[in-house]
Amino acid sequence: MDEEKKQPKNIVETDKVDENDIEKSMTSVTEISDVAEKETSPAVEELPEEIRKKLEKSAAQRKESFGRKGKKKKKGNKKVSVGIAYIKATYNNTIVTLTDVSGNVLSWANAGLAGFKGPKKSTPYAAQIITRIAIEKAKEYGLTEVSAMVKGVGPGRESAVRALNANGLIVTRIKDITPIPHNGCRPKKPRKI
């Protein structure tokens, strides 16, 4: 009995792997990654050159910082075909967030991210550009159909919804969720003069 305890019970024999097979698989992986890096989506190429350069620069910085901090385990890419697009259009900015049905964020973009500054952040053109950026980020999840929730009264609200449809997403419904005060706060006392 003592001899049985000393010997390991589960011994797994490994098959010999041919070194040529390993080299072939490694070259195919590197070729695939090179092709993926060279290919850029057509919607990103259509962006103005200045904005495209800023996006590429920020992506390069993210890759650099990612390598320094250590590799994070990425969860398996989930496939989401139906989602919700939240558009917050204020007088000063426009924010577009694409989520799945339960509210988990897939991608987002705002005017500052796209390189707009000052009064240009609230324009309809900026809303159109940032919607395109958010959709490109969400394409890797397989998003095809969204319902739009619009909040706020800014100038970018209508153009953001139109951009959703123009960039390949099917908009099933549009709902205005702008908060409206029902009587609101108690008014101030009348001034005594």
Residues in the chain: 193
Higher pLDDT: 33 or 76? It is 76
Domain that holds residue 142: 82-176
Kindly indicate the confidence band of residue 78, based on its pLDDT and cuts at 50, 70 and 90: confident
Residues 157/87, Cβ–Cβ less than 8 Å? yes
In a domain, 50, yes or no: no
- Residue 44 has a pLDDT of 62
Establish if 167 belongs to a structural domain: yes
Give tens-digit pLDDT for 132-190. Answer: 999 999 999 999 999 999 999 999 999 999 999 999 999 999 999 999 989 888 989 99
Evaluate whether residue 171 is within a structural domain. Answer: yes
Q: How many domains does the chain have?
A: 1
Task: Establish if 30 belongs to a structural domain.
Answer: no
Q: From 93, 142, 84, select the one nearest 122 (Cα to Cα).
A: 93
pLDDT, tens only, 28-44: 433 433 444 444 555 56
53 lies in some domain:
no
Residue written as token pair 């500054």: 117
| pTM recorded for the entire structure | 0.66
pLDDT of 22: 45
List the structure tokens of 176: 């205005």
Give me the torsion for CA of 150, 153, 154, 158, rounded to 10°.
Answer: 50
Q: Which helix (H) or strand (E) holds 130?
A: helix 124-138
On whether the CB atoms of residues 107 and 139 are closer than 8 A, the answer is no
